[in-house]
């Protein structure tokens, strides 16, 4: 790999902190960004699913985009999430959104419409022409109700301006087929925290992580060790986090990671409806796991 080294390693699907009244908490957002950069992650992904982008209005999105770019100040690369289920509107957003300070766009496959594979290919081909920045595909059928097959992804890999995929299908056989036949410079990035180690072991390029919001140092070091194929150390760090990871998703994302980040005094646990904070059983388990967690 040579062309897109900035996106090899650990990217973080950054949360959007809210005040208890539901407004975006820009002070906490700056604190989270600094926390992640100090944790030595390789890049940040802004306004993805974990950032609750679907509940932010246009002005809020513009403010978050600008604020993260200002706080980051070029210290790590930034990826911006822009997606939707109306191809024309997504293309228009890519053409008109101010992306100063950003290096790529992450765009999830359309949700709700359930497009065919031909429709998905045409959707991303339009976006590739519209976007001023390189595009990372995002396959997350658990949310979109449609899967980008390996064959579809491989066809899109030849489209100019599409540089890789965040793969969150949970299907390792599909990922392995993609890894075997992908073009040389096409990035395959895990979208599942607990599957990052096996995906990297099969040849993947890293992860866009939720868990790393709370534990950037440990998670990014696990990824670096795996990319070096120092698997014994990577396994040690992976299993250090696996129980926490399970609980972070036990009652919804980003409710889980915001709960533990509240315990770490990084932000509140406020989420916007229809999401709700985690239940008390999960909260107590997270408290216990955090109390016993040793980052080394």
Where in the sequence numbering do the catalytic residues fall?
A: 138, 166
Contacts of 232 (CB under 8 A, 6+ apart): none
Class of residue 101 by CB neighbours under 10 A (exposed 0-12, middle 13-18, buried 19+): middle
Can you tell me the distance from the alpha carbon of 123 to that of 139, in angstroms, rounded to the nearest whole number?
A: 13
CA 58 – CA 162 distance, rounded (Å) = 25
Read off the tokens for 272.
């916007």
Contact (CB, 8 A) for 130 and 105? no
The span from the CA of 296 to the CA of 290, in Å, is 13
The conformation of residue 252, written as its DSSP 8-state character, comes to -
Task: Tell me which H or E stretch contains 137.
Answer: strand 135-139
What are the C-alpha distances in Å from 236 to residues 95, 108, 221, 288?
44, 32, 11, 20
Nearest Cα to Cα of residue 15 among 240, 251, 258, 187: 258
């Amino acid at each position: 790999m040579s062309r897109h080294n900035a996106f090899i390693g650990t990217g973080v699907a950054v949360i959007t902190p809210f005040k208890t009244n539901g407004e975006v908490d820009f002070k906490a957002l700056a604190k989270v960004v600094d926390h992640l950069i100090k944790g030595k992650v390789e890049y940040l992904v802004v306004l993805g699913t974990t950032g609750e982008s679907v509940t932010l209005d246009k002005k809020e999105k513009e403010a978050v985009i600008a604020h993260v770019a200002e706080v980051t100040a070029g210290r790590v690369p930034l990826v911006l999430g822009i997606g939707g289920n109306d191809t024309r509107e997504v293309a228009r957003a890519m053409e008109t959104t101010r992306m100063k300070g950003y290096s790529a766009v992450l765009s999830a496959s359309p949700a709700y419409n359930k497009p065919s594979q031909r429709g998905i290919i045409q959707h991303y081909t339009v976006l590739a022409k519209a976007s001023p920045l390189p595009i990372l595909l995002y396959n997350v059928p658990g949310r979109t109700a449609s899967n980008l097959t390996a064959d579809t992804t491989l066809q899109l890999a030849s489209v100019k301006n599409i540089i890789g995929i965040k793969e969150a299908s949970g299907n390792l056989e599909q990922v392995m087929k993609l890894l075997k036949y992908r073009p040389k410079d096409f990035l395959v990035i895990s979208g599942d925290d607990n599957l990052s180690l096996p995906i990297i072991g099969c040849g993947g390029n890293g992860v866009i992580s939720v868990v790393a919001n709370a534990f950037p140092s440990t998670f990014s070091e696990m990824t670096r060790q795996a990319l070096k194929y120092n698997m014994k150390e990577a396994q040690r760090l992976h299993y250090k986090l696996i129980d926490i990871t399970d609980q972070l998703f036990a009652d919804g994302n980003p409710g889980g990671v915001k709960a533990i980040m509240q315990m770490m005094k990084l932000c509140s646990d406020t989420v916007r409806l229809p999401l709700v904070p985690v239940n008390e059983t999960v909260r107590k388990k997270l408290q216990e796991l955090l109390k016993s967690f040793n980052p080394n």
